[in-house]
Structure 1
């Protein structure tokens, strides 16, 4: 994911938390704030130390970044997102993480179309 697609400063995160709306499931909490002036969405990720050690936290963030990258054309572009991973997220593989992200995006009506029924193809080992 390009750096222009990321929220970086504490002020940007706080603005999304305070002025935005949120939806959640067991694994993820999604905060979002409309930003009409920007051409694409931006994402901030937060994974607490409660979720796991640094290896686990970085894996979850990699999975979320890749899921956003794959869903880029299906997500409404003029929003800032903050995704917070909850403790059950440490047991998910990439496909389950992507499915969980699709679920919260669908609940918050931020998908351009309903892609929940599209089967996620698992790559053979």
Structure 2
């Protein structure tokens, strides 16, 4: 996702899902491209540019590796919580936090 109205729609109309270190805003699209679209919002409160970019790199890498696990038309905006330490964030930690949430999203979409 690149445009501000897409982020705003996700914030206002999407459902919030919480993990220990992240907040997910998830909005199901009725039309448009298939598959999910990822948006990241990492504020300056998370640290300097190096820390913010590390968070974005790890989150993008998780979704790149698991892009075929979720075959739903979703917009997902990921926002890190303030308690997240960028130095401790690894792909293993992201996988541990994101995988249960993605399973719940798949199960919820199957029930719909």
TM-score in terms of structure 2 length:
0.83
Secondary structure at 1:23's aligned position in 2? strand
Distance 1:26 1:18 in 2: 22
Identify which of 14, 22, 25 aligns with 1:31.
Answer: 25
Distance 1:30 1:95 in 2: 18
Distance 1:22 1:89 in 2: 22
The aligned counterpart of 1:67 is: 62
Report deviation, 1:89: 4.6
Any idea what the Cα deviations from partners look like across 1:41-97, whole Å, max 9, x if unmatched?
Answer: 101001111111100100110110110011111114210000001131522212112
The aligned counterpart of 1:118 is: none
Aligned-residue RMSD, C-alpha = 1.5
Distance 2:72 2:85 in 1: 25
Q: How many residues align?
A: 104
The aligned counterpart of 1:21 is: 15
Report deviation, 1:9: 1.0
The aligned counterpart of 1:10 is: 4
Q: Which runs of 5+ in 2 are unaligned?
A: 108-112
Structure 1 outlier segments of 4+, above 4 Å: none
Secondary structure at 1:31's aligned position in 2? strand
As a proportion of its length, which structure holds more helix?
2
Q: Does 1:58 align with 2:53?
A: yes
Distance 1:15 1:99 in 2: 28
8 Å CA contact 2:58, 2:89 repeated in 1: no
